Amino acid sequence: MTRSVALFTLPMLMLAAGLNAVMDKLQFHYDKSVFAPLKSHQQWLDPRLSWRNKWHNGDPAQGEAFPLSSTSFVGFTDAWHFAKSLWIDCILIAIIAPFTALVRRRWWQWLLVFLGAKILYGLVFELFFAWLLAR
């Protein structure tokens, strides 16, 4: 692995760790976080409220707020899912980056590899979340 790839992979992992901390702080310590004073953004930041953003009128019985708002585009509905989406991106980039030094491809081919990995991740998540782990 070249030095430049390592210098790219490590910051991606560090950013992923920071995003994981954001997710945990929002989920478990919202009231004692830097996010709590941002009252005008509470509907986006506070998981006790923000989960409703993916549903039409905040009601799961009424369906999604917009197409794929509860699956592929959930990262646009609230801060926790936005951080999770970026976290997944950072992890996937950190995994893929070393291969760019080993296998010569054009940038758009690596972008397709990234998108394929992200889609696969989402499909496997949905398989477990909605089917295998549901009662």
Q: What is the mean pLDDT of each run of 10 residues along the chain (135 residues)?
A: 79 97 98 98 98 98 97 96 98 95 94 97 96 96
Q: How deeply is 135 buried, as exposed, middle or buried, from its count of CB atoms within 10 A (0-12, 13-18, 19+)?
A: exposed
Residue 119: per-residue pLDDT: 96
Q: Is 84 a domain residue?
A: yes
| Percentage helix, strand, coil for the chain under 3-state DSSP, each rounded to 5 | 75, 0, 20
76 located within any domain: yes
Per the domain annotation, does 28 fall within a domain?
yes
Q: What is the pLDDT of residue 3?
A: 76
In this prediction, residue 5 carries a pLDDT of 77
Judge whether 15 lies within some domain. yes
Structural domain contains residue 44: yes
The pLDDT score that the predictor gives to residue 57 is 97
Residue range(s) defining the domain that contains residue 11: 3-103
Structural domain total, the chain = 1
User: H or E stretch including 98?
Assistant: helix 79-102
State the Cα–Cα distance between residues 90 and 15, nearest whole angstrom.
7
Distance CA 63, CA 118 (A): 24
pLDDT for 1 equals 58
Domain assignment present for residue 51? The answer is yes
The pTM of this model reads 0.92
* 125 is a domain residue: no
In-domain check, residue 82: yes
Alpha carbon distance 99, 106 (integer Å): 12
